[in-house]
């Protein structure tokens, strides 16, 4: 999960929290001035990206312990799900397990894996949690990422079969040597959900957690909607659209502009098409609004891979609000997204 897939900064009228080097903005949370108490802003670096907390309506002595608890919970999730680094965890163990041998996963990981497999099934394979070998081959999340594409043969050898992991009473069975879990396209969303649960357990009712563009909000900003700006995929300082929302919801954008290289005049990025093994080329960015960040994370990836046709076949079928910028720069939106979007 050590990925930098989507980026953002939280802004108020006075100052901007600048991202760390090599981190670019994806979503801006636009906050209006208020009387009291002032918003609490805290930034942490984890999961390979900036994680920004904005809490409204409470004093700092209430907000800070909640943020500390949320940070610890999100780091726990990252440690449990990542396939990168040398520290052992159950996901790495399953990826190294003998083919055909049941392996018991912790209940928490099993729940997320079931959700990922449901998205895979409902999307017709546009989302796949078993791309670990392909992701490692392309190397976008490695400390020393590659600058040229793998060979066609290498890619073919790393594409997993349609069915990779099956659950039995004794655990999960890896079906093929090409099967390796990588929760990078969904676990960051799950970490946000767990972080928000930690905030709520400390009495926080109005907040946003934003992990590099994966965002979940609760409540409101001093009785007014949160204002969320979606970054233009080709203009880093421009806003594609502004959303005004309140309550419990998640907004996640997948884009081709964070981790990529240009080779022979072509852009190669980290969002892979499971069916071809190559980067998906029909979209520049895809944004999904869902009840929680886990779902929004997975479905934004599936929508990005599908391209413009996914606005009807995926987003509308599942009832999610969504917007997509296609490879030619044209904006597409579902009707329910259009109703809450303000274009510049």
Question: 5: closest CA among 185, 172, 169, 164?
Answer: 185
Give me the pLDDT at residue 224, please: 94
Helix axes 293-306, 107-122, angle to 10 degrees: 30
* Dist CA 68 CA 34 (whole Å): 25
Return averaged pLDDT per consecutive 10 residues of the chain, 344 residues in all. Answer: 38 27 40 65 93 96 98 98 96 97 98 98 96 96 93 98 97 98 96 98 97 93 93 91 96 93 95 98 97 97 97 87 97 95 93
pLDDT recorded at residue 35: 52
pLDDT digits (tens, 9 = 90+) for 242-288: 999 999 999 999 999 988 999 999 999 999 999 999 999 999 999 99
d(CA 3, CA 233): 18
Would you state the pLDDT for residue 5?
38
The radius of gyration of the chain from alpha carbons, rounded to an integer in Å, stands at 19
- Identify whether the C-beta of residue 10 lies closer than 8 Å to the C-beta of residue 52: yes
Compute the CA torsion angle 8, 74, 136, 166 (nearest 10 deg): -130
Determine the pLDDT at residue 29: 54
Sorted by where each begins, the domain ranges of the chain are: 81-185
Cβ neighbour number for residue 331 with a 10 Å cutoff: 16
Q: What percent of the chain has pLDDT over 90?
A: 82
Tens-digit pLDDT profile for residues 83-137: 999 999 999 999 999 999 999 999 999 999 999 999 999 999 999 999 999 999 9
Parallel, antiparallel or unpaired: strands 27-30 and 8-11: parallel
pTM above 0.85, yes or no: yes
User: In terms of CATH, what superfamily is 81-185?
Assistant: ApbE-like superfamily (1.10.3980.10)
pLDDT of residue 149: 97
């Amino acid at each position: 999960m050590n990925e930098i897939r989507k980026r953002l900064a939280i802004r108020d009228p006075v100052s901007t929290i600048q991202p760390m080097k090599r981190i670019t903005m994806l979503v801006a949370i636009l906050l209006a001035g208020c009387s009291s108490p002032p918003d609490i802003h805290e930034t942490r670096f984890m999961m390979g990206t900036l994680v920004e907390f904005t809490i409204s309506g409470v004093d700092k002595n209430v907000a800070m312990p909640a943020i500390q608890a949320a940070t610890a919970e999100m780091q726990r999730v990252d440690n449990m799900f990542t396939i990168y680094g040398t520290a052992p965890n159950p996901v790495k163990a399953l990826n190294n397990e003998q083919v055909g041998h049941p392996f018991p996963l912790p209940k928490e990981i099993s729940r997320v894996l079931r959700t990922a497999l449901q998205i895979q099934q409902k999307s017709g394979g546009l989302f796949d949690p078993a791309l670990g070998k392909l992701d490692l081959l392309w190397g976008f999340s490695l400390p020393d990422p590659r600058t040229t594409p793998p060979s066609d043969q290498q890619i073919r050898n790393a594409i997993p079969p349609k069915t990779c992991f099956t659950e039995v009473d004794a655990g999960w069975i890896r079906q093929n040597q090409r099967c390796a879990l990588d929760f990078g396209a969904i676990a960051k969303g799950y970490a946000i959900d767990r972080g928000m649960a930690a905030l709520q357990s400390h009495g926080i009712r109005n907040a946003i957690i934003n992990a590099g563009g994966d965002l979940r909000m609760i409540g409101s900003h001093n009785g007014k909607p949160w204002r969320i700006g979606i970054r233009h995929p080709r203009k880093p300082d421009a806003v594609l659209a502004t959303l005004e929302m309140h309550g419990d919801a998640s907004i996640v954008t997948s884009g081709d502009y964070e981790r990529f290289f240009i080779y022979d005049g072509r852009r190669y990025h980290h969002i892979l098409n499971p069916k071809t093994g190559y980067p998906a080329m029909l979209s520049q960015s895809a944004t999904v609004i869902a009840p929680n960040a886990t779902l929004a994370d997975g479905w934004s990836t599936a929508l990005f891979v599908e391209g413009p046709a996914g606005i009807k076949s995926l987003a509308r079928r599942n009832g999610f609000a969504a917007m997509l910028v296609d490879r030619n720069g044209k904006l597409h939106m579902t009707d329910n997204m259009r109703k809450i979007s303000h274009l510049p």
